[in-house]
Structure 1
Amino acid sequence: MEGVWFQELQTKNLSIGCSVKEVLLKQQTDFQKLQVLDTDIWGRMLVLDGAIQTTIEDEFVYHEMITHVALNTHPNPKRTLIIGGGDGGAIREMIKHDTVEKATLVEIDKAVIEAAKKYLPEISVAIAGNNPRVEVLVEDGIKHIKEKENYYDIVIVDSTDPVGPAVGLFAKDFYAAIHRALKDDGIFVAQTESPFYNKDLIRRVFKDISSLFPITKLFTANVPTYPGGLWSFTMGSKVYDPEKLDMSKLRKLDTKYYTPEVHKASFVLPKFVGDLLK
């Protein structure tokens, strides 16, 4: 192999690699190792602690699915929160909903936000453009959520993998704090890793969220740069069932992956994934 290659050890037995045209940024932040790479196949790529977070070419899948499924399930989301997501992609999608009056982003690592603004403008447009509906807070998301009660309509946890600063974002007491921070008809969604490589985590998280929310659903999307490609998200809802909607009445959005039909289909789980939840 010629030239420079990036390789992510996705599990102890699996890696993914791609050729790199240029290393745009390499930085040790207060929390993690941050890199921005310009790759031949995926374009510019954000990497944290050696793990791919997002790329210009496939980011729309993850960011659309982690946001629009919940936002279209809620009939009138006004006050919304994203914990993590310092690249800005989830906030970008969130404010496509006209009902949203205030979308708050809480990211613990300011360096991620600044890197996204400079090197990933297509993704970070909502936070880079000083949109009046967007509030950006550089602080600990766990602390932030514990200080709120009956406040948010939607909470999205757009976290990194459950290591380092993100470990607490996969804990039951954190989900309980989110439940308290949500209004009586609030909805919560978290990214919950790969059904191929994170079976135990998915089982545990689904059980924890089910103990708090009367409606708990797992849905999936295909994110090619994430381990296994098939990626899971877990929703906890106090009132609204994402599968019992009039799909013809969902808000029409400018998207590349998400559609009302995809919304419905994302809850149809392969048997091995459904078996994880039993």
Structure 2
Amino acid sequence: MHSDLWVEEKFKDFLGLRFKVEKILFSGQSEFQTVDIVETKGHGKMLLNDGLIMVTERDEFAYHDMITHLPLFTHPAPKNVLIIGGGDGGTAREVIRHSNVEKCTMVEIDAMVVNACKQYIPQTSLALNDKKVNLIIGDGVKFVKETSEKFDVIIVDSTDPIGPAQPLFGEEFYQDVYNCLSDDGIVVSQGESSWYAIDIQKSLLEVLNRIFPKCFLYNFSNLTYPGGLWCFTLASKKYHPIDDFDKQRVKASELSFNYYNAALHTSSFALPSFVINELKSLIENNNSKM
């Protein structure tokens, strides 16, 4: 009898990523998606939503470091932060490490993701009970439309633009995000793969450019997303993430990181030529003293 158990993420119709599974820890169906947590051989615990890999213990820090520390060190004094999505808790964990952050509101649509991660992936979810974190189970699109609160930094920690995350890539959503940002606010969003989804990057950046005066794309690398090299978008009302970045603040914070550092903050905005050629009219990456 063949007892080898593997999980495979199938990407489009031409690529598969396979991981050896030692144990299935959780498997459920919420009103939004399937939610699975497995123990893998080489990457620790892994969260999958609708069969797509969201987080593994081995490389989650790359994503969570770069989606949080880069905007929080670009903005000179971020006190009030909003996370849309981020049900595994890793983004909130990194946000509240910043001593100047007074409050972190997190709006996640799927309670099953939060509860499963609280039970099985404490590495990412440990901060969700922190007093700085205001966890709301609800629709982030509705939240930004209705809130009267102003945020210094908004982090859109979403899945791909399918299923419940689809509206998080639209113009109406980002207009609402703009409206609930402070006058010098920044929004960072999960920005897909330049190798496989440059069309999605283009449409997202077109939306951001219609609303924000400054738009950027930056890279990070991980082990478990198709293509390995992925991106975040950064849109800002005021601050330039390189020209207005003070690397001494990183040193003074005395925070330790597994991926992010001051040199990488700047260098992550250096993009491959094929990306610049495709997106140059939509990004300001080269208009700096980099």
For normalisation by structure 1, the TM-score amounts to: 0.97
Tell whether the 8 Å contact from 1:60 to 1:256 is kept in structure 2 after alignment: yes
After TM superposition, list the pairs within 5 Å mapping 1:98-113 onto structure 2. Answer: 98-113=99-114
CA distance in 2, matches of 1:175, 1:152: 14
CA distance in 1, matches of 2:47, 2:204: 26
Q: Deviations over 1:89-125 (max 9, x none)?
A: 0000001111100001100000100001000001101
After TM superposition, list the pairs within 5 Å mapping 1:207-218 onto structure 2. Answer: 207-218=206-217
Tell whether the 8 Å contact from 1:62 to 1:223 is kept in structure 2 after alignment: yes
| 2:273 corresponds to 1:274 | no
Q: What's the CA shift for 1:273? A: 1.6
Question: What residue is the counterpart of 1:232 in the other structure?
Answer: 231
Length, aligned pairs only: 276
CA distance in 2, matches of 1:246, 1:35: 41
Q: What's the CA shift for 1:148? A: 2.6
Question: What residue is the counterpart of 1:260 in the other structure?
Answer: 262
Tell whether the 8 Å contact from 2:93 to 2:127 is kept in structure 1 after alignment: yes
Q: What's the CA shift for 1:150? A: 6.1
CA distance in 2, matches of 1:41, 1:132: 34
Question: What residue is the counterpart of 1:29 in the other structure?
Answer: 30
Identity %: 44
- Which stretch of structure 1 is more off in the superposition, 59-68 or 7-16? 7-16
Question: What residue is the counterpart of 1:247 in the other structure?
Answer: 247
Question: What residue is the counterpart of 1:138 in the other structure?
Answer: 137
**What letter matches 1:134 in structure 2?**
V
For normalisation by structure 2, the TM-score amounts to: 0.93
**What letter matches 2:269 in structure 1?**
F
Q: What's the CA shift for 1:241? A: 0.5
DSSP 3-state at the match of 2:223: coil
- Which stretch of structure 1 is more off in the superposition, 200-209 or 81-90? 200-209
After TM superposition, list the pairs within 5 Å mapping 1:133-172 onto structure 2. Answer: 133-149=132-148, 151-172=150-171
- Which stretch of structure 1 is more off in the superposition, 49-58 or 147-156? 147-156
CA distance in 2, matches of 1:183, 1:28: 37
CA distance in 1, matches of 2:189, 2:68: 10
Tell whether the 8 Å contact from 1:148 to 1:180 is kept in structure 2 after alignment: no
Runs (5+) with no aligned partner, structure 1? none
Tell whether the 8 Å contact from 2:154 to 2:186 is kept in structure 1 after alignment: yes
CA distance in 2, matches of 1:96, 1:273: 33
CA distance in 1, matches of 2:87, 2:155: 12
User: Any runs of at least 4 consecutive aligned residues in structure 1 with deviations exceeding 6 A, and if so which?
Assistant: none
Q: What's the CA shift for 1:59? A: 0.2
Q: What's the CA shift for 1:175? A: 0.8
Tell whether the 8 Å contact from 1:150 to 1:184 is kept in structure 2 after alignment: no
DSSP 3-state at the match of 1:9: strand
**What letter matches 2:110 in structure 1?**
D
Tell whether the 8 Å contact from 1:80 to 1:103 is kept in structure 2 after alignment: yes
CA distance in 2, matches of 1:141, 1:56: 26
**What letter matches 1:33 in structure 2?**
T
Tell whether the 8 Å contact from 1:150 to 1:183 is kept in structure 2 after alignment: no
Q: What's the CA shift for 1:173? A: 1.1
Runs (5+) with no aligned partner, structure 2? 281-290
Question: What residue is the counterpart of 1:66 in the other structure?
Answer: 67
Tell whether the 8 Å contact from 2:73 to 2:249 is kept in structure 1 after alignment: no
DSSP 3-state at the match of 1:257: coil
DSSP 3-state at the match of 2:211: coil
Question: What residue is the counterpart of 2:172 in the other structure?
Answer: 173
Question: What residue is the counterpart of 2:287 in the other structure?
Answer: none
RMSD, aligned α-carbons? 1.1
CA distance in 2, matches of 1:265, 1:248: 16
Tell whether the 8 Å contact from 1:82 to 1:157 is kept in structure 2 after alignment: yes
CA distance in 1, matches of 2:158, 2:78: 21
CA distance in 2, matches of 1:25, 1:181: 36
Q: What's the CA shift for 1:2? A: 5.4
Q: What's the CA shift for 1:126? A: 0.3
**What letter matches 1:142 in structure 2?**
V
